Chains A and B, each alone.
Chain A
Amino acid sequence: MAVKKAAPAKTTRKTQASKFSKETYIKWYKDMLMIRRFEEKISQLYIQQKFGGFLHVYIGQEAIAAGTVSACKKGDKHITAYRDHGHPIALGTDPKNLMAELYGKATGCSKGKGGSMHFFDKERGFYGGHGIVGAQIPMGAGIAFAEQYNETGNVCFCSFGDGAARQGALHETFNMAMVWKLPVIFIIENNNYAMGTSVERTTNVTDMSKMGDSYEMPSFVVDGMKPEAVHEAIEEAAERARKGNGPTLLDIRTYRYKGHSMSDPQKYRSKDEVSEWQDKDPIDHVLSVIKEKKYMTQKQIDTVEAETKQTVLDAVKFAEDSPFPDKEELYNDVYQQKDYPYIKEYLA
């Protein structure tokens, strides 16, 4: 298990690569590569103004989604912030529907009503994509509450940023989640920055795993650049939750290579810092294991790369060919009530 409250530099731990199968490595590789290629493409498309809105990419953080999804079970729920492209891709949502959502098309995963920040895929247990920083912390605990209430044995993985961890809702939620022993795993995707504000500038306690201490919540620091470490930490935390022993806090140390959103000049950090983290790239890491263990031939690796790129291109074509929502859709999905009497006279 991860070391409790290790200092940031000491989070790397010996992962037992042997524990994970060839299939798991290949799945991690494919999932992370899909996230990366998808987001590289959408960054280009965004610059070309193919679609609007905010766009926050997950590049650099892929091991968290990959390691969480490989460790979770069917029926588990996932909720995260607006940096939400990675989770549904790892959960298996068709990139076509995700791409179409960016374009605001009717075929999008949220019917073009959510955009980049509000991806949803209920069927795969993905409960969004949420744009209000930290709002998903209590919601995630509530999703877990329903699982506990219905005695399903499922858990909720609730991800949020280091910046979101400064919201008061976190403390209220940690407290109740511990009193009620909710089956929720709180995951800080700690990329060290909230927009341009570093962790050190917003807190006296830079070791974020300590945030669980006031609630006696089991809390661990995890190396977020290694899907093995994430998987192990997630599996152990989920096990604890499934047994009725309540929540866990995972301070998963990661890094976003790109700016906060597409309009971030990144004056707050050095190029050296970025490249130091890129040296620990999770995709490179997994690929090196795959090569070392001969899990795939170079030809197979090349094929995966080519297929991934093609899937992304197909998704772009699908999105561009898809229709926008009908105008009537403005009045659909606001209420479950089908005949809700909207005030429409201003249109006349």
Chain B
Amino acid sequence: MKTVQYREALREAMSEEMRTDSSVFLLGEEVAEYNGAYKVSQGMLDEFGAKRVIDTPIAELGFTGIAVGAAMNGLRPIVEFMTWNFAILAADQIINSAAKMLQMSGGQIGCPIVFRGGNGTAGQLGATHSQSFEAFYAHVPGLKVVTPSTPYDAKGLLKAAIRDNDPVLVLESEKMYGDKGEIPEGEYIIPIGVADIKRKGTDVTVVSFGKIIKEAHKAAEALEKEGISVEIIDLRSVRPIDYGTVVNSVKKTNRCVVVEESWPIASIASEIAYHVQNYAFDYLDAPVKRVMQSDTPFPFSPPLMAEALPNVARIIAAIKATMYK
């Protein structure tokens, strides 16, 4: 094992795949000469050259459409969005083109493409730069959406995404790029659509994914001291969702809390809550709870930010509520 940053794990995934498959290339704003806005692609221009590590103008719709066309015609592009907030400008090509090409062409033309970049809040960036897109894109059949929360998951899931023949979105976080964690020396792949039980427990199931899962871990540690045993399931993928792992865990703990850094309506949390009540109704000792971001555009001022975000205290309160404590 070795310790790497999240950004290095992503870079290793891309570089390894680019070494073995010449049809894989990276494009996006500042990915080449600037070495990436968040230094994910540092050094890749030197290794792979300008043909395969391509700086684009600031034209999300255009360069995404070009990448989609390249994928339709046999290449395997990796599109880096500086953040997912800006990918809204490219949503037409992601949702109307990439997600539907295989179906509408009757299986003739697929779109093996990876879209990746920072997602969610990342400090005092204001409302337009602080949005989470898991639920948005998880809604769309034809796409796959992964949400790595550790360097280990980042490398394994990104490699799976690059090898996948379907369009895959990788939702990262500017706040996680510097996170350190252990990964194996050699190659490994994490299959898309399989959840990971990040912490074993018996009293309550906490379902989460992406950066905010770290708050769930802190809450679980604090509760352990009080004798409450929390099981944490990292979905890793929000399309498809590994409902089985969640439902089986709830059948054991009889309680469920979902922690999500996004808005409440039509969220991944609502989706999980639906499935849990449908498939584990008789096992539930309490209603499913969720801890979400405030139902507002994300604020700028620090006290308001703190008020808007899910945090350890709220997660603890939600867990205790399911235990009637």
Contact = CB atoms under 8 A, between A and B. Distances in A.
A220 B164 CA distance: 42
A282 interface: no
Interface in A320-340: 332-337, 340
A77 interface: yes
A45 interface: no
Interface in A250-306: none
Contact of A176 (B62, B93, B112): B62
Contacts of A109: 106
Interface in B115-162: 141-142, 144
Interface stretch (A1-9, A27-35, A144-152, A230-238): A144-152
A335 B68 CA distance: 16
Given A114-B104, A122-B108, A176-B59, A336 B68 contact: no
Contact of A110 (B61, B66, B105, B144): B105
B166 A127 contact: no
A161 interface: no
Interface residues of A, number: 50
Interface stretch (B95-103, B202-210, B252-260): B95-103
Contacts of B74: 146, 150
Given A135-B96, A168-B61, A127 B72 contact: yes
Contact of B102 (A130, A145, A336): A336
A206 interface: no
Contacts of B26: none
A334 B97 contact: no
B53 to A, nearest CB: 13
B106 A175 contact: no
Nearest to B242: A341
A56 to B, nearest CB: 16
A172 B107 contact: no
A138 B61 contact: yes
Contacts of B93: 135, 138-139
B165 interface: yes
Query: Which residue of B71, B72, B105 has the most chain A CB atoms within 10 A of its CB atom?
Result: B105
B66 A173 contact: yes
B92 to A, nearest CB: 6
Given A175-B62, A334-B142, A138 B69 contact: yes
A333 B100 CA distance: 9
A137 B68 CA distance: 11
A77 B165 contact: no
A145 B54 CA distance: 12
A171 B62 CA distance: 8
Interface in B74-105: 74-75, 92-93, 96-97, 101-105
Query: Which residue of B57, B59, B193 has the most chain A CB atoms within 10 A of its CB atom?
Result: B59
B102 A334 contact: yes
A143 interface: yes
A150 B71 CA distance: 13
B321 interface: no
B73 interface: yes
A135 B106 contact: no
A156 B165 CA distance: 23
Contacts of A173: 62, 65-66
A121 B73 CA distance: 13
A195 to B, nearest CB: 19
B6 interface: no
Nearest to A332: B107
Contacts of A127: 72-73, 109
A240 interface: no
Contacts of B164: 336-337
B262 interface: no
Contact of A143 (B51, B70, B103, B142): B70
B267 interface: no
A60 interface: no
A96 interface: no
Contact of B165 (A121, A135, A336): A336
B56 A176 contact: yes
Query: Which residue of B62, B142, B164, B166 has the most chain A CB atoms within 10 A of its CB atom?
Result: B62
Given A142-B72, A334-B141, A335-B102, A132 B96 contact: yes
A193 interface: no
Given A113-B103, A135-B92, A139-B65, 13 more contacts: A120-B108, A122-B109, A127-B72, A127-B73, A132-B96, A139-B66, A142-B66, A142-B71, A143-B72, A146-B73, A149-B75, A335-B142, A337-B166
